[in-house]
Amino acid sequence: MIALHAHKTLRSPSGNINLQLELEIGRGEFISLYGPSGSGKTSTLRMLAGLLKPDRGTITVEGYKWFDSDTGHMTPPQDRKIGYVFQDAALFPHLTVKKNLEFALPRHSDPSIIKELTALTHLDPLMDRLPDTLSGGQKQRVALARAVVQQPDILLLDEPLSALDAETRSTLQDHLLALHKKYDLTTILVTHDIGEIHKLSDRVVKLEDGKVVAHGSPISIFSHHQVSGKFQFTGEILRIDKQELIYVVSILINRDIVRVIASEDEVVNLKKGARVVVATKAFNPIIIPL
Amino acid sequence: MNWDPLLLTFKLALVTTLLLLIVAIPLANWLAFGKSRIKPVVETLVSMPLVLPPTVLGFYFLLAFSPNNAFGNWLNEWLGLRLVFSFSGLVLASMIYSLPFMVHPIRSGLAATPPSLRESAYLMGRSKQNTLFKVLLPNIRPSMLSAIVLAFAHTVGEFGVVLMIGGNIPGKTRVASIAIYEEVEIMNYGAANVYSMILFVITFVILLLVYLINGGYLKRFWK
């Protein structure tokens, strides 16, 4: 169990941000941190990792105090058993993929974990390549494997998938979920992608202006209208077209575009780019095997 | 033709560069990442040789290391070190004189590495020192090469400091730049020209190599 009670004032170009984090995370949970830019998501990860020192508060992990502003104690990042995947992957440019993975191996530990992980994440053909010759998706795959080679208790991911195309992203999400389960990790993912949150996480923590404003299951956080629907999806409005008396709203759900008919009253509250829930309850959908 | 001044010049440059490298890496690391309040003062001191006339530096060395003064006397009596008019004195003075040329490129190289490289190494349990030698320095090879070569070339080219503190003792402190000056003084332009031409060509080739390597021109031929 991780208990984070931390205050920190961050100076940023758009003014000061006051982080006041109260957060508890159970062992083995997969948590997504969600919120607008500058809401303190990355800083939360950095405080957990020991890369950023809170001004006040405590960080307790499995009964051990990692940080306590009263005693001034701070466990250095080296002793925290944390795997961290940075947004830029942070692979060591002078080392091959193989050497990068070996670098992360803790002393006196069994090197067979490297073989196991490269098989799981399909890295074997890339082992002798240098990071500069890899694509963005390949880099993040290596970074993910490298973070797990450390055999961490906690895996922190700072938007590792945000710059990737949908297909690569989907593959990496599968890898991530597999690793989370296989190695019994507590995983915290910073992401903007609601689809990703639904697919991966047990719980979402929503941050705004440095504070936790909501937390709960992805469905409970993202469907504001509690429809007792038989099926529902979240998507993004691509366009709204007026046709005679009705409107046709095109909505992107995952990678499919769905057209939904709406009346003028309904369209008033909708605009292009907005996130919406598409649900139905009156009709029973038909399921046809592909 | 007396080759001693040229040999002495390159010996001095080599010894100075090697010793300087040992001093400059921790210093550049501290300047790049340290958070101490006295950092601006140290930065200024490191950069002083860039703007100060070498004779000023040489003059104070001469005063400090002279056996007639307390510090020079102490060095002489306790450590048996005589730094005035000796090769070791030249090395020490050259190290200080060439310090910014070694420290600045390493420091800028280190400061330009993405913070996530250091941080991920720390999270892998690596100490700061291990991270410096295993992750950061191997990734700033061009800066390291520039630093080593600039410090070397700058030491080859020094004159004022050497003249003040080393004098002109054949085989001990008479380096090429001083020999050239002396040959000109006695109107022996031929010898001065040979020394000058050799220095010119060697330093040109060394600097050219650096630019070729750092610009990636040589790699194209290897591939």
Q: Do A78 and B127 touch (CB under 8 A)?
A: yes
Chain B closest-CA separation from residue A14 CA (Å) = 22
Which of B117, B123, B134 has its CB closest to that of A77?
B123
Q: What is the pLDDT of residues A238-286, one digit of tens each?
A: 888 888 888 888 888 877 888 888 888 888 888 887 888 887 766 666 6
Cβ neighbours of A78 in B, within 8 Å? 122-123, 125-127
- pLDDT of the residue at A228: 54
Q: Do A106 and B125 touch (CB under 8 A)?
A: yes
Chain A closest-CA separation from residue B118 CA (Å) = 9
SS3 of residue B80 by DSSP: coil
Q: Do B119 and A90 touch (CB under 8 A)?
A: yes
Helices (H) and strands (E) in chain B, counts: 12, 0
Q: Do B119 and A51 touch (CB under 8 A)?
A: yes
- pLDDT of the residue at A182: 92
Domain formed by B4-174, architecture: Orthogonal Bundle (1.10)
Q: Do B139 and A51 touch (CB under 8 A)?
A: no
Give the E-state strand segments of B113-206 in sequence order. Answer: none
What backbone phi and psi angles, to 5 degrees, belong to B177?
-60, -35
Tell me the pLDDT band of A58, cut-offs 50, 70 and 90: very high
Measuring CA to CA, which residue among A118, A106, A121 is closest to residue A151? A106
- pLDDT of the residue at A226: 53
Q: In what order do the strands lie in the sheet with A203-208?
A: A73-74, A64-68, A56-61, A2-12, A15-25, A211-216, A203-208, A30-34, A186-190, A154-158, A82-85
Instruction: Pick the residue of A78, A80, A103, A105 with the most B CBs within 10 A to test the interface with B by mutation.
Output: A78
- pLDDT of the residue at A103: 95
Residues contacting B75, CB < 8 A, separation 6+: B65, B81, B82, B83
Q: Do B138 and A94 touch (CB under 8 A)?
A: yes
Chain A closest-CA separation from residue B126 CA (Å) = 6
- pLDDT of the residue at B200: 93
Q: What is the pLDDT of residues A79-133, one digit of tens each?
A: 999 999 999 999 999 999 999 999 999 988 889 999 999 998 899 999 999 999 9
Instruction: Pick the residue of A79, A101, A103 with the most B CBs within 10 A to test the interface with B by mutation.
Output: A103
Q: Which of B55-64, B142-151, B153-162 has the highest mean pLDDT?
A: B142-151
- Residues of chain B with a CB closer than 8 angstroms to some CB in chain A: 114, 116-117, 119-127, 134-135, 138-139, 141
Nearest chain B residue (CA) to A51: B119
Which of B114, B126, B135 has its CB closest to that of A78?
B126
- pLDDT of the residue at B189: 93
Which of A86, A93, A103 has its CB closest to that of B124?
A103
Cβ neighbours of A114 in B, within 8 Å? none
- pLDDT of the residue at A281: 66
Return d(Cα B200, Cα B194) in angstroms, integer: 10
How many angstroms separate the first and last alpha carbons of chain B?
Answer: 43
Cβ neighbours of B125 in A, within 8 Å? 78-79, 106-107, 150
Least confident of A209-213, B75-79, B186-190, B216-220: B216-220
Tell me the pLDDT band of B223, cut-offs 50, 70 and 90: very low
Per cent of chain B over pLDDT 70 is: 98
Q: What is the pLDDT of residues A172-208, one digit of tens each?
A: 899 999 999 999 999 999 998 888 888 899 999 999 9
Is A216 within 8 Å of A203 (Cβ atoms)? yes
Cβ neighbours of B119 in A, within 8 Å? 49, 51, 77, 84, 86, 90
Average pLDDT over residues B193-208: 92
Cβ neighbours of B117 in A, within 8 Å? 90, 92
Is A74 within 8 Å of A243 (Cβ atoms)? no
Return d(Cα A172, Cα A189) in angstroms, integer: 13
Average pLDDT over residues A59-64: 92
- pLDDT of the residue at A271: 83
Return d(Cα A197, Cα A159) in angstroms, integer: 12
- pLDDT of the residue at B75: 81
A26 vs A252: which has the higher pLDDT: A26
Q: Do B117 and A49 touch (CB under 8 A)?
A: no
Q: What is the pLDDT of residues A148-176, one digit of tens each?
A: 999 999 999 999 888 788 888 888 899 99
| Domain-wise residue ranges, chain B | 4-174
- pLDDT of the residue at A280: 74
Which of B116, B126, B127 has its CB closest to that of A86?
B116
Q: Do A78 and B114 touch (CB under 8 A)?
A: no
Q: Do A90 and B122 touch (CB under 8 A)?
A: no
How many contacts, defined by CB atoms under 8 Å, are there between A and B? 51
Average pLDDT over residues B130-134: 96
Beta-sheet pairing, A30-34 with A15-25: unpaired
Per cent of chain B over pLDDT 90 is: 60
Q: Which fold has domain A2-222?
A: Rossmann fold (3.40.50)
| Domain-wise residue ranges, chain A | 2-222, 231-280
Residues contacting B204, CB < 8 A, separation 6+: none
Cβ neighbours of A88 in B, within 8 Å? 114, 116
**DSSP 8-state code for residue B136:** I
Place of tokens 């296989």: A182
Average pLDDT over residues B136-146: 94
Q: Do B125 and A78 touch (CB under 8 A)?
A: yes
- pLDDT of the residue at A263: 83
Q: Which fold has domain A231-280?
A: OB fold (Dihydrolipoamide Acetyltransferase, E2P) (2.40.50)
